[in-house]
Structure 1
Amino acid sequence: MNYESSIKGRGAQLNIQNRFIELTHEMRNDFLEYCEKEGEVSQCNKTKYIDVYPKTIVNKVSSPDVGMAYSMNPYQGCEHGCIYCYARNSHEFWGYSAGLDFERMILVKKEAPKLLESLLKKKSWKAKTIVMSGNTDCYQPAEKYYEITRECLKVFLKYKHPVGIITKNALILRDLDILKQLAKDNLIAVNISITSLSEKTRRLLEPRTATTIKRLDAVKILSNNNIPVNVMLAPIIPSINSHEILLLAKAVAEAGALNIVHTIVRLNGAIGDIFTDWIKKTLPDKADKVLNQIADCHGGRLNESRFGIRMRGEGQIAKQIHDTMRLAKKKYFKDRAMPKLNDGIHENNKTQQLKLF
């Protein structure tokens, strides 16, 4: 099966079995043949939005190599459909598949702004940067309709609380008005993920994300408005985008980014089978080479869970990637750095009341 005959607009090409559910669902060939003959659709490819009502919205991050203390996710599941996404595994906790369900069954947390405000008002809460999209993208297509992320940014601005954003969607520019106000008090840092300058590669890896050109434009517009931008060249996938590191670094530096970081792809849990199925269907000629090189970065395995190593990799291929990144930073990002966000003014803005003394 080639890309033209794959499931349009989706990354995953199957719904892999949820490891927490005993019952299995099988798409039989005779059923698919019947649907073909009768002109019927074997499965609905439309995205479904499902309201959920969590009791809290901010999560403490205990992983020592993630680089954030707290995260929040207005949505679970992500319509962007990035085939390599580590967040796919988390969809199994909700009773869905990490495959197509992750892209088509989007859980929406409409109460997120209220839950966030309740937390920021607590006397016991001490300001520390909360990162939106620690798991799934807060500017995925659902945000166009629900505007939960925008409402949360208004809460951060109201209480003068530092916030970070991770996204690969140019929709962030819709909220430029709020971001500029946050930036005046050094309360915002934006991390934009750009994995390739090739639109063909981008469409294969991340079918429903913003184009690379739009993301570079977002970096430029944000930077021109004094909003600090870090670009995540992540993940680097050997023999798919590993040759683009220097070109990507040059492009984002010219757009005004203050820093770049990278991770090496790792295919934990269900993602290994999902990625393997995908690459054998979309890039069959390169599949074995890519899979073997990914495994070479992780001690002969596709998955990697060791803190400090899991996102950096090891071995000769990983070393080549790290060396190229060091060269890119030295060449294009000398004397640039992301600022430390301001966590010192939130305390005086908790109650929203004027103080006498």
Structure 2
Amino acid sequence: DDLWDSFHIDHGDRWSRKLFPGREKTLQYFNVIYDRVASRIAQQPLTDEALYLYRYAIYHQHMHIESMTWCRQTVALPAPPGFVGALPKRAEPLPGDAPIPGGRYQIGMPGESACYATTDFAFDGEKPRFEAPVEPFAISRTLVSNREFLAFVEDDGYRRPELWSFGGRKWLSTATDIALVHGSSQPMLREPRHPLYWCWHEGEWQERVFDRWQALNLDAPVVHVSYWEAEAYCQWAGRRLPTEVEWEAAALGNRSGEDFRRFPWGNERPAPDHADLDATHMAQQPVWDYPAGDSRSGCRQMIGSVWEWTSSQFLPYDGFRVDMYPFMSTLQFGDHKVTRGGGCATSSCLIRGTYRQAYLPLRNDVYTGFRTCALSDSASGTR
């Protein structure tokens, strides 16, 4: 644990080659621990507490699988196994906003799942369930696309300080993104003027998908944008980001006395026609794809594709209790923004509509994007 427990090793020290034993010994260590755990499961009674811990470890491991996928993107390694890229067109554009009626909505998972749950597993940050009042609002049926965000870029959006909040202007003035320039294997620092992995090359906008450059997929969701970029786009478009309660109301629409939905389409686990998950298509499908995954409010791709920025700070729900692993949520409370819905690299066994992820607002290396809300309760208008 002194070597592999991240809470015992400072973040900067984790890059030291002198500290870790190398690839061969690391894999050997992994296999030893894996075999010990498998043997324990087979030989000892599977109590509720043990089952909870095993599931917790499996889901937590899937979180790290996702982070390894976006690390591949960061350093331009080849795509992971199973990546197939974009599919042929399977649906028609879905313009406009979905009107969400006001009322009281159930948010989160039951608090009794905090300890030893064998059903309705949830992490502590999405518990306990509560009712929240929501005013009527209108939210985009689809994610913001590359085409829409490109209009912001080409309107000089990154150089117009009136579009950026104080935090956004600070990010613009201090941030230097480490990005690979087209045709070079060496990273360079650049001031943000467009999304991280975009590049203007030979008369067209291109994007890097792992180790390959391709023409910018205009109908796909914009991805790898920070909270500050999403906020500035909204200011430019005359829109706003949803709160996380609004997001969950639009995605699940759960009310007291009704069957509780864990996913926009119901309670069936995600299937390939529901959502872009498991590092298969990597946010290369149009924003109007996956109609089978629609919420009952008419919103599309609220699970998978990109983690969606909300305007909410990551804070505990009233009645929050720390689970047996105390650092799952507590270290992020207060200074992180909430993202919802999972992304294209998220494991389908991990995600659900109540799941909350938290990122610092400056993060743009993760598969983050967004959808917007109207400034009024009108369902008409554009994003």
TM-score using structure 1 length: 0.23
Greater helix percent: which structure? Answer: 1
Q: Higher RCO, 1 or 2 (CA under 8 Å, sep at least 6)?
A: 2
